[in-house]
Structures are given as structure tokens and as C-alpha cells.
Amino acid sequence: MENIVLTIIFTITIGSACVVAFSRNLIYSAFALFGTFLGVAATFIMLGAPFVGLVQIVVYAGGILILTIFAVMLTAKIKASEITNPVLNIKIAIPLFLLTLFLLVYFLVNNFWSGSTALPHKEGSIVAIGNALLTEYLLPFELISIVLLITMIGAAIITRRQLK
Amino acid sequence: MTITPFIIMAIILFSLGIYIVCTRSNAIGYLMGIELILNAASINFVAFARFYNGAVDGQIMALFVIALAACESVIALAIVLGLYKHYKTIDTKNVSTLKY
């Protein structure tokens, strides 16, 4: 049962990631990104990290993706037949892509991680995350909030209208 | 359930992200590739935390990755909109300066 669910999630994620990579139209890529983000969120939930999965849905699918689609629609002319996302440097990209894939698969099959089985699943990981965020990771947590504030101000300054 | 399928998934996502970053000339296209790469990294963090550590450190790293990806995306899209306002294109072949 677990394997079937995992296969479905795997197919959705990789399939829509392939659409993102190989689609010639930017808006199709943007919408296919939705499937990738949902698939990754489902993977997190399968891995026993429901909080990270929910944050993934809220932030990525609800925030970043909407922003991306807005940016696409504000900058590109959307026509189904038009190539808005041309492919270039293909002679460099294919070898680099294959090299990355080969190296990572090489490390994978070299038995660094084989024979691992899942540790006993701990319930209540959200409580543990909350505790760790407010004790051990307090400084990075606060720094992230400052970074978010600076981001908000920076985005407003970059896109503001020039006052004459 | 072993860790291998998750690692394979992260590998494929990462490689597709590399491919996108290499081939796209559209600035928003780049961003999508970067999002894929960051997602692959988060999957690795969570998977290794689940299978080797059992603690929540990996999940917290994934949360930080998500927060920083949101910041990066917001700033990059703001720059893209600024570029479009000035140059009327977001093709990176035609845009070689940020100053005007």
C-alpha cells in the first residue's frame, strides 16, 4: 500500500517537473510547478513530517506559485501557440544535466545509504519542532523573521513608482 | 520503506533544475529551476532526518529553506517586474544591466 502511494506521488512529482523543464510555454511551466510542489508536500507527509508538508503547501503552492503566475501574466503575452520560454545553450545543458545525474546516481549506488530502514516513527513531531525552534534554533528563527521583514521592505522599494 | 526512492526523486528534481537553469533565457524560467533545486534539497534534509537521525533538525532545516526560498522568490520577481517596466522584456539575453 505504501509503495503504491509512493509510486503515485513519485509519478506526479517527476512528471510535472518534466513539464516544467521541457514545456516551451512559460504559463504551462508555471502551472505544472503546482503539481511538483504538491508532490513534494505529499513526500514530506509520507516521510513523517506533516508540518513541513503543510508549510510547503501554504508557502509554495499558496504564495510563491501565485506570485510566479502573476509575474508571468504581467510580463509575457500568453498565447497557447507562442514560445515564451525558448531553450538555448542546449549543447552545454545536456552534458551538464547528464553529468549531474551520473554523479549523483554514482554516489547513490556506491552503498553509502543502503540497508537503511525507517527509524521508529515518533508521534508529535510538531511539538518537537516548536520546542526546537524556540530553544536550540532561536537565533536562526529570529534572523529569518528579520530577513522576511527586510524582504518585504526591499520588494516594496524595488517596485515602487518613481516620484517625479 | 527505504530511503532510496526519496533520494532518487531528489536526484531527478535536482538534475531537472540544473537543466532548466542552463537552458532558460527567461528570468522567470530560471526561478522555477531554482525552486526545483531547493525542493530537492529539502527532500534530502527531511529524508535523512527521518531515516538516520530521528530528530527534527532536518525538518527545521527544510522550514528554513522554504522561508528563504520565499524571500528569494519575492525579491527576484520584484526585480523581474522592475526590469520589465524599464526594458519591456525579461529575456536575459537583452538585459545586461540593473542600473538605469
Q: What are the domain boundaries of chain B?
A: 4-87
State the pLDDT at residue A123: 57
Burial of A112: CB neighbours in 10 Å, binned 0-12, 13-18, 19+: exposed
This complex has an ipTM of 0.89
Indicate yes or no: CB of A75 within 8 angstroms of CB of B62: no
d(CA B19, CA A92): 9
Does residue A36 sit in the same domain as residue A110? yes
CA torsion angle A33 A107 A9 A97 (round to 10): 30
Q: Among A32-36, A116-120, B65-69, B73-77, which is the least confidently predicted range?
A: A116-120
| CA-angle at B41, arms to A109 and A16, nearest 5° | 90
State the pLDDT at residue A58: 93
Say what the pTM is.
Answer: 0.87
Does residue A28 sit in the same domain as residue A67? yes
State the pLDDT at residue A142: 94
Q: Are A83 and A25 in contact (CB under 8 A)?
A: yes
CA–CA min distance A8, chain B (Å): 12
Interface A–B counts its CB contacts (< 8 A) at: 216
Q: Are A76 and A26 in contact (CB under 8 A)?
A: yes
Burial of A11: CB neighbours in 10 Å, binned 0-12, 13-18, 19+: exposed
Please name the residues between 97 and 136 in chain A that touch chain B, using a CB distance below 8 Å: 97, 100-101, 104-105, 108, 113-114, 116-120, 122, 125, 128-129, 132-133
List CB contacts (< 8 A) between B90 and chain A.
75-76
d(CA B61, CA B67): 10
SS3 B33: helix
Does residue A132 sit in the same domain as residue A159? yes
Give residue A145's domain range. 122-164
**Mean of all residue pLDDT scores within chain B:** 86
Residue A142, C-alpha cell as written in the block = 529570529
Instruction: Split chain A (164 residues) into runs of 10 and give each run's mean pLDDT.
Output: 89 92 86 92 89 92 89 73 66 83 80 59 75 91 94 89 64
A49/B55: higher pLDDT: A49
State the pLDDT at residue B79: 87
State the pLDDT at residue B66: 93
State the pLDDT at residue A116: 57
d(CA B68, CA A61): 15
Does residue A148 sit in the same domain as residue A102? no
CATH for B4-87 is 1.10.287.3510
Among A44, A122, A157, pick the best mutation site for testing chain B contact (most B Cβ within 10 A). A44
Q: Are A33 and B32 in contact (CB under 8 A)?
A: yes
List CB contacts (< 8 A) between B14 and chain A.
100, 104
d(CA B1, CA B64): 26
Nearest chain A residue to B67, by CA: A144
State the pLDDT at residue A89: 74
- Give me the number of domains chain A comprises: 2
3-state helix/strand/coil string of B62-87 = HHHHHHHHHHHHHHHHHHHHHHHHHH
Residue A40, C-alpha cell as written in the block = 513534494
> What is the pLDDT averaged over residues B79-93?
80
State the pLDDT at residue A7: 92
Does residue A63 sit in the same domain as residue A132? no
Does residue A12 sit in the same domain as residue A87? yes
State the pLDDT at residue A91: 79
Does residue A80 sit in the same domain as residue A129? no
- Annotate A128-162 with DSSP letters as a single string: HHHHHHHTTTHHHHHHHHHHHHHHHHHHHHHTPPP
CB count, 10 Å around CB of A57? Answer: 18
Q: Percent helix, strand and coil across chain A, each rounded to 5?
A: 75, 0, 25
Does residue A12 sit in the same domain as residue A50? yes
Is residue B100 very low, low, confident or very high in pLDDT (cuts 50, 70, 90)?
low
| CA-angle at A59, arms to B25 and A121, nearest 5° | 120
> Of B49-53, B70-74, B95-99, which has the strongest mean pLDDT?
B70-74
> What is the pLDDT averaged over residues B56-60?
87
Does residue A91 sit in the same domain as residue A133? no
